[in-house]
């Protein structure tokens, strides 16, 4: 997990520097780029179609022939394919600076009112169920009347659940406009935040058990790392609330007034995520203080053992040493029961000490 | 108590995820659901009736025949019975999203101005007198002219005190409108916060006494847990103030202007609860610091004992060891009073050391 | 002092709960109630009269015959006498909720604009010079044109200084209206805050001296308690500023515009009290950190003594033990000066160690 | 330095209480009062005169004959001479409450718009170069058209530099109005803050060096004291910014609009002082943490020495003690080379232990 | 690095004091001054020229003959050459106070709307790649229609990258107005912040590795220093955001409305830098806590070794000492297998202890 965090910070930092010296509004071709998979889903209350668009020029016809009541959802599964981005930018007349923001996977969440469309970008996190890692990716949305374009940083299955619902359930989602689709996708994004926090909570419980037993350096290290991971997540989630507020206040016909209540609902979810984050962070701080107190108490216990043993035996040993001296004239040595008397004194002294420590609650 | 907190956090987190992938505004049937008990209390200055409504369809007639000056209070004792919720929703024309909020027991406190009614939801806490636990439950209120509907998360006796008062005392409560009933119930909710804090205060006193005597790991653990419980309570109480503010500012005829002073009174109580919470939290932080200082001081005391014993006897033992050597030529061994001289020197040295430590205030 | 604080928190918490289940606006008869002493002082520039009112019905006449230019100051020395409160409430037409606030000695400071009067309540603290305790009491003021009523929580002599000034000095106070009398009394209340803080400052100096000498558990406990006492005082003083601001902004003829400058003056005093509180709190935090550092340094010193003694004597003792072995063939034992050589070696080694520790600055 | 701080807090606190029971607006005659020295400087672009005014009644004539383009600067070198204050108050028609504020050397910085004049009071600090102490004094300014009166708490030479510049340099200062003179004097006050902080910075460097070498109790005490001194200075400087803001916003002809830029400049300086204060405070907090870590590390080092010595010699000593037993039948004792074998074993064991500790990096 | 920070604080503090007593608006001749190198770059879409201006009087002609569509960029490579500053001030009619701000290298970042120009000053930091130091310098910008003047504190190559781009690439930069050039230069400044933070991040990784292995005093010292360096950088970067906000809100024709989006972009970068700073600061705080916990755990480990060795051998040694006593009548000594029995008892006792400690997980 530790490496993950440093990676996150590294990306946060290197994001800007890789663009260093390049004029703004220029798309930088990424080395790891591969052809993006572009999927177009069209639906209304009765019909549903889904096709992968290999040749983007066909998209023009599709858009032109658009049924005014249907909704089109165009999904681009990676932002590292600059050619595809540029083509889509031209077809839908997206501003070059917006395109650059889409391509650069290190934006702060924000909402921009473009010419005929809204541009919304935010950071999603989801739990990689295999590696038990929290993955961060940036998702960009272009919302126009009857059209939603989603740009994912890298291919993943976060939105599959909605695709399946669109295909199988003729419910409310199929009747509503494109902004409702946006709401549904954002809801899935926030659900994934809850899942991730749930996983963090489990980890805290594990760490808590480990602190109880044996608060070693590794445990403390992991608590620190988890705390920092929460800090980074906080930085992802907090600006989303501003974005949702802007979305509700925006004077745009693309967001239907009757749907504003749904975005308010999302805003409440963000608040709730943030409060859970605060509680989790407080848990970790408490856990650290608890671990430190336990370390302190352990030291006390160790020292008590040492002190009891030393304090009991050092004086006894001293007595034995006295009668181990080789003076010619030591009358006690010649007593018939001198040896037994000394043993008795020693036993008495030792017992007395043990009782004393018992009273002091050291043993 | 520790488990309670984690449970609270777990519920906070799982709340959202159980709804995962479900379209908004859909009521999820809870497994633990059982038939809700619905009680209708009708009263005015002179009459009072209370009946359990088994067949909700009868409710329609009751409402239709309502006396314009009387107040109806409909109490639903669990929100996990989806069928009952839906029936009530239809009868009183409550918006599906509001119904969903009522059913989902993990809402942030909020006030919503519905169509002809006000919807208010908040978290109540009360002290389970048997298990000495602080229980949290969500309570929803639907307030309309002459009508108050209360939805409790699970059956409990929090509002019994008001039912008895309505039945037995022909006081102010019987003369006033439905919003005054709401005020009275909210007052009971806040009273229960005071009782819970009172219990926390007692626990702090117990913990304080334990820290004085013996600040072990368990004590520190319980302080941490109590601190976190207070943090969670703070998250419940703080938004209630906003809700009350909204209630006073709202431009709705359902809240009679002459009763606004009572809601202002509640708002003052919330402030006072919050201040008590702050004082209690500060107490716990101080207690922790105090415990850590005591642990540190204890270590010092243990080390003093070890140091005094070691420092006194190690040199004496060394002297004895010298005269325990077996050299053939050790003139002192043959002195008549060599043994006594050495004993005298040892006693002197030991006494000197004790005096030295006495002066240094170590013993 | 520790008990005092817990008492304060207890009262803060129990305040509300004793009223539990009682309809608002009802005066609860206190068990500890006794007949209140009601004193009426009337004065203008030339005349001054003071009488104890035993029969409150006479008050009606006195008020009716009031000289329009004179000021009446009615002082009620305890709020636990419900009968008296109710009589006064009827005579001066005070709202029942206001009366209840007066009777309940755990209000947050606030200002309310009643019908023809202003109601102001705040917490005063004063130093009990005998027991060296900081006592808190609640004082309520009802200000009307030409009339000031003061309600003290329990009988005390805080306002005697003003009574004496009214009686003996024909100064500005005698010429001014009732709101100026209010200002004068509030000024005395704030002066008592300064005196209490002064006492706290002295205590900090005492504690500081004790930390220097011997930072034991008691000292740390008292620092913590004093810190918490300051926190409670902060909660008393801070809302007073809001109250004074409200007083200045209020659109009421009872506060003469020419006297507003005096209330602004009081507001400055509250700021100054608060800043002193902050400095005192910072002092206590520093003192605690200092105490902990001293405890840590003490441990180091103890350990140095132990380490020096052990490190010097353990090797020497080992040498002695070697020559205390009983092997038949140990050539050194038979040397003429073997014993002296060993003693020389031991002395040399011991000296070397002492020099080494001297160089390391451990002794 | 410690005494200085406590003195400051004491004065902060006693300030109010000495006035206890005195009606507001009354000048309290200070015991330590002596006749104030009043100096009048008059200048315009061409002329400059400076005279000490012994008889304040002459001041009336001087003011009456004032040249409309010249500026008069009246400096009163102590506020403890009540008679002088009252005379000046009468001549320049200063409000009694303002006069009281001038006389009471414990005001919060503030700006008041009087009748025909502005009253400004703030706290100056300067470094006493002899005793290396930071001295605080209160300075009051009365600014009217063509007139500036300065009241210093006690005689000092802070403003001498400006007097000399007025006398010798026919620069911008000689051409400008009285508000520019105020700006110049405030600039000197802020310069003295920089000098004092510079001195604090030097002290931090000294303390830092001491912590590196030997972080004893004295060092920690001085760090704490310095931290608190900075807290007190923060309380002096922060309100000055508010005052300067009020000065810029004030709708008064006494502040010429063209000079507002200079007061904005001062406001920037206050910000810069405050930022330096924050950096210095952070330095001290870091220094304390560093000192505590060093104390912890030192303890570790001490314990390592003790542990190494004990762990090496205690087992060796045990072996020697075994062969010091007096059993009749101990075959090893009779071996020809038993003694040498034991010595060899001991050396081997000791060496092994030393190597072990070397590997563990304890020595 | 430690020295660097103290130097920074020193400069922060001495900045103001070196000007002490000097009338405002006066340029102070710096001792370290040398002739500034002044470079004029003129470009439009088609032409580009760059020349070093040795004789500033020629500048007048150049400016007069300025082509209305081209952009002039005048770069002054040091602010310590007062003569050059004054000449430029006269030629471009810059206000004396602005000139003084340019010359004084310790300004807070700010934007001022001058007469026909905008004045912007901020602090840049860049990483000295040779010495691996973070260098701070102040950069001032004077922006007028078609003209940008940059004043660097000392000669460096930060802007070379833009010079090269202007010369070689006929891109957007060559087509845009002077405010776009300002944007490009500010972008480079912020890029350098990212690079510096990147370097800090690397250092944190190095320190983190050192803490894992051996958290000595040096490591802790460097963590503290790095933390403080970040605090200083925060103080540089935060006001830049305000400046950019002012720049966007300013009602000036010099900033073309169509370019405002670029300054908004910069503002986002500042936010991002600040968030990275927060994450880095949190990392360092965590690292310190981690280091302290490790120190505490190390102490526990050391004490365990001491305790185990002492507790095992002290009782064994005591047994040996008993049989080393010289009593005449000690029956055990004469037993045939007494010696072997004692050895067996000792081995058993020692083994038992080791098992006991093994169970307790101390070894």
- Cα–Cα distance measured from residue C43 to residue C45, given in angstroms and rounded to the nearest whole number: 7
Nearest to A305 among E173, E201, E311 (CB): E311
In angstroms, the Cα distances linking B341 to B322, B354, D219 are 14, 20, 47
Residue D27: which pLDDT band, with cuts at 50, 70 and 90? Answer: low
Q: Which residues contact B171 (CB under 8 A, 6 or more apart)?
A: B165, C23
Q: Which residues of B touch A328 (CB under 8 A)?
A: 333-334, 338
B258-283 average pLDDT score? 85
Token pair in block for residue B93: 């024309």
Nearest to C108 among B191, B271, B330 (CB): B271
Q: Which residues of D touch C201 (CB under 8 A)?
A: 6, 9-10, 13
Most confident of B6-20, B200-214, C99-113, D176-190: D176-190
With CA atoms as reference, report the closest residue to D357 among D310, D322, D293, D324. Answer: D310
β-sheet bridge partners, residue A73: A41, A148
Collect contacts of D166-171 with beta carbons under 8 A, ≥24 apart: D166/D41, D166/D43, D166/D48, D167/D48, D167/D50, D169/E23, D170/D45, D170/D46, D171/E23
Q: Which residues contact E100 (CB under 8 A, 6 or more apart)?
A: E24, E25, E26, E27
pLDDT digits (tens, 9 = 90+) for A303-341: 889 999 999 999 999 999 999 999 998 988 999 899 999
Q: Which of A127-136, A253-262, C222-231, E30-39 has the lowest mean pLDDT?
A: E30-39
Q: Is the pLDDT of residue C8 over 70?
A: no
Query: What is the distance, to the nearest Å, from the Cα of residue D119 to the centroid of all Cα atoms in its chain?
Result: 25
Residue D83: which pLDDT band, with cuts at 50, 70 and 90? Answer: confident
Q: Which residues of D touch E97 (CB under 8 A)?
A: 261, 265
With CA atoms as reference, report the closest residue to B44 among B166, B175, B167. Answer: B175
Token pair in block for residue E344: 């067996």
- Which of C8, C11, C16, C138 is the best mutation test for B, with the most CBs of B within 10 A? C16
Q: Which residues of B touch A161 (CB under 8 A)?
A: 21
Asked if A185 and A162 count as a contact pair (C-beta separation under 8 A), the reply is yes
- Cα–Cα distance measured from residue E203 to residue E207, given in angstroms and rounded to the nearest whole number: 6
The whole-angstrom distance between D130's CA and the closest CA on chain C is 28
With CA atoms as reference, report the closest residue to D153 among D264, D11, D289. Answer: D11
Residue A343: which pLDDT band, with cuts at 50, 70 and 90? Answer: very high
Question: Of all helices (H) and strands (E), which one includes residue C137?
Answer: strand C133-144
How many percent of chain E have pLDDT more than 70? 89
The whole-angstrom distance between D294's CA and the closest CA on chain C is 10
Alpha-carbon dihedral angle through residues B191, B197, B201, B203, given to the nearest 10 degrees: 120
How much of chain B is helix, strand and coil, in % rounded to 5? 60, 15, 25
The predicted structure's pLDDT at residue A256: 86
With CA atoms as reference, report the closest residue to D140 among D119, D126, D169. Answer: D119
pLDDT digits (tens, 9 = 90+) for A163-205: 998 888 777 888 888 999 999 999 999 989 988 998 898 899 8
Token pair in block for residue E332: 């055990």
β-sheet bridge partners, residue A110: A121
ipTM of the complex as predicted: 0.70
Asked if C313 and B314 count as a contact pair (C-beta separation under 8 A), the reply is yes
Asked if C303 and D29 count as a contact pair (C-beta separation under 8 A), the reply is no
In angstroms, the Cα distances linking D168 to D70, D272, E219 are 17, 31, 56
Q: Which residues of E touch D127 (CB under 8 A)?
A: none
Token pair in block for residue D147: 């007139």
D224-231 average pLDDT score? 87
In chain A, beta strands by DSSP E = 38-43, 48-53, 71-76, 110-113, 118-128, 133-144, 147-152
Token pair in block for residue C247: 């007083």
Q: Which residues of C touch D21 (CB under 8 A)?
A: 161, 165, 188, 191
pLDDT digits (tens, 9 = 90+) for A50-84: 989 888 887 877 766 666 778 999 999 888 888 88
Q: Is the pLDDT of residue D22 over 70?
A: no
- Cα–Cα distance measured from residue A90 to residue D297, given in angstroms and rounded to the nearest whole number: 64
Q: Which residues of C touch B188 (CB under 8 A)?
A: 21
| Alpha-helical segments (H) within chain E | 2-18, 58-64, 82-91, 96-103, 160-168, 172-175, 178-213, 217-249, 260-322, 338-359
Residue B28: which pLDDT band, with cuts at 50, 70 and 90? Answer: low
Nearest to D297 among E12, E295, E316 (CB): E295
pLDDT digits (tens, 9 = 90+) for E234-279: 888 888 988 898 888 887 888 888 888 888 888 888 888 888 888 8
Q: Measured over all CA atoms, what is the biggest interatomic distance in chain D, rounded to whole angstroms? A: 123
- Cα–Cα distance measured from residue A312 to residue A319, given in angstroms and rounded to the nearest whole number: 12
In this complex, do A224 and E187 lie within 8 Å of one another by their Cβ atoms?
A: no
Chain E CA closest to residue A95: E261
Q: Reduce the DSSP state of residue A240 to 3 states and report it.
A: helix
- Cα–Cα distance measured from residue A3 to residue E73, given in angstroms and rounded to the nearest whole number: 46
Please name the residue that has the structure tokens 């060296």: C132
Counting one residue from chain D and one from chain E, the pairs whose CB atoms sit within 8 A come to: 163
Nearest to A327 among B288, B291, B323 (CB): B323
Asked if A188 and A158 count as a contact pair (C-beta separation under 8 A), the reply is yes
Asked if A50 and A39 count as a contact pair (C-beta separation under 8 A), the reply is yes
pTM for this predicted structure: 0.77
- Which of A5, A6, A9 is the best mutation test for E, with the most CBs of E within 10 A? A9
In this complex, do C194 and D17 lie within 8 Å of one another by their Cβ atoms?
A: yes
The predicted structure's pLDDT at residue A351: 95
β-sheet bridge partners, residue E110: E121
Length of chain C: 363
Q: Reduce the DSSP state of residue B143 to 3 states and report it.
A: strand
Q: Reduce the DSSP state of residue D219 to 3 states and report it.
A: helix
Mean pLDDT of chain A: 84
Counting one residue from chain A and one from chain B, the pairs whose CB atoms sit within 8 A come to: 164
Asked if E49 and E41 count as a contact pair (C-beta separation under 8 A), the reply is yes
The predicted structure's pLDDT at residue C73: 94
Token pair in block for residue A85: 């981005």
Q: Reduce the DSSP state of residue B120 to 3 states and report it.
A: strand
The whole-angstrom distance between B53's CA and the closest CA on chain C is 27
- Cα–Cα distance measured from residue D17 to residue D12, given in angstroms and rounded to the nearest whole number: 10
Q: Which residues of A touch E326 (CB under 8 A)?
A: 323-326, 330, 333
> What DSSP state is assigned to residue D49?
E
B14-23 average pLDDT score? 45
| Three state DSSP letters for A268-288 | HHHHHHHHHHHHHHHHHHHHH
Residue D13: which pLDDT band, with cuts at 50, 70 and 90? Answer: low
Token pair in block for residue B290: 């105090």
Number of H helices, E strands in chain B: 10, 7
Q: Reduce the DSSP state of residue C349 to 3 states and report it.
A: helix
The predicted structure's pLDDT at residue A262: 85
Query: What is the distance, to the nearest Å, from the Cα of residue C133 to the centroid of all Cα atoms in its chain?
Result: 9
Counting one residue from chain C and one from chain D, the pairs whose CB atoms sit within 8 A come to: 163
In this complex, do C195 and D336 lie within 8 Å of one another by their Cβ atoms?
A: no
- Cα–Cα distance measured from residue E308 to residue A305, given in angstroms and rounded to the nearest whole number: 9
Count the neighbouring beta carbons within 10 Å of the beta carbon of residue E143: 24
In this complex, do E326 and D328 lie within 8 Å of one another by their Cβ atoms?
A: no
Asked if B18 and B104 count as a contact pair (C-beta separation under 8 A), the reply is no
Q: Give the gyration radius of chain D's Cα atoms.
A: 34
With CA atoms as reference, report the closest residue to B223 among B320, B269, B292. Answer: B292
The whole-angstrom distance between A224's CA and the closest CA on chain E is 6
In this complex, do E191 and A23 lie within 8 Å of one another by their Cβ atoms?
A: no
Q: Which residues of E touch A15 (CB under 8 A)?
A: 272
Using CB atoms, list chains with 3+ pairs below 8 Å to chain C.
B, D
């Amino acid at each position: 997990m530790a490496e993950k965090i440093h990676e996150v910070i590294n990306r946060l930092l290197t994001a800007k520097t890789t663009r260093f010296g390049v004029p703004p509004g220029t798309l930088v071709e990424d080395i790891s780029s591969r052809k993006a998979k572009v999927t177009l889903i069209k639906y209304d209350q009765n019909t549903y179609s889904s096709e992968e668009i290999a040749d983007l020029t066909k998209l023009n016809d599709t858009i032109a022939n658009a049924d005014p009541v249907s909704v089109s959802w165009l999904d681009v599964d990676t932002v590292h394919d600059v050619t595809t981005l540029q083509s889509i930018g031209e077809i839908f007349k997206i501003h070059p600076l917006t395109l650059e923001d889409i391509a650069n996977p290190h934006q702060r969440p924000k909402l921009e009112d473009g010419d005929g469309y809204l541009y919304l970008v935010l950071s999603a996190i989801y739990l990689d169920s295999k590696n038990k890692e929290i993955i961060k990716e940036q998702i960009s949305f272009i919302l126009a009347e009857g059209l939603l374009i989603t740009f994912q940083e890298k291919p993943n299955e976060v939105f599959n659940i909605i695709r399946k619902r669109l295909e199988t359930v003729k419910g409310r989602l199929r009747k509503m406009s494109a902004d409702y689709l946006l709401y549904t996708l954002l809801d899935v994004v926030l659900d994934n935040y809850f899942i991730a926090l749930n996983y963090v909570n489990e980890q805290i419980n594990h760490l808590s058990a480990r602190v109880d037993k044996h608060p070693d350096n590794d445990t403390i290290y992991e608590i620190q790392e988890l705390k920092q991971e929460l800090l980074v997540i906080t930085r992802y989630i907090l600006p989303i609330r501003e974005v949702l507020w802007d979305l509700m206040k925006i004077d745009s016909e693309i967001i239907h007034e009757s749907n504003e209540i749904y975005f308010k609902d999302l805003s409440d979810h963000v608040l709730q995520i943030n409060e859970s984050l605060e509680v989790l962070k407080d848990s970790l701080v408490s856990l650290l203080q608890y671990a430190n107190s336990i370390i302190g108490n352990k030291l006390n216990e160790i020292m008590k053992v040492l002190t009891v043993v030393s304090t009991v035996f050092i004086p006894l040993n001293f007595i034995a040493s006295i009668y181990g001296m080789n003076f010619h004239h030591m009358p006690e040595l010649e007593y018939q029961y001198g040896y037994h008397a000394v043993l008795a004194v020693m036993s008495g002294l030792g017992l007395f000490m043990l009782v004393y420590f018992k009273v002091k609650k050291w043993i």
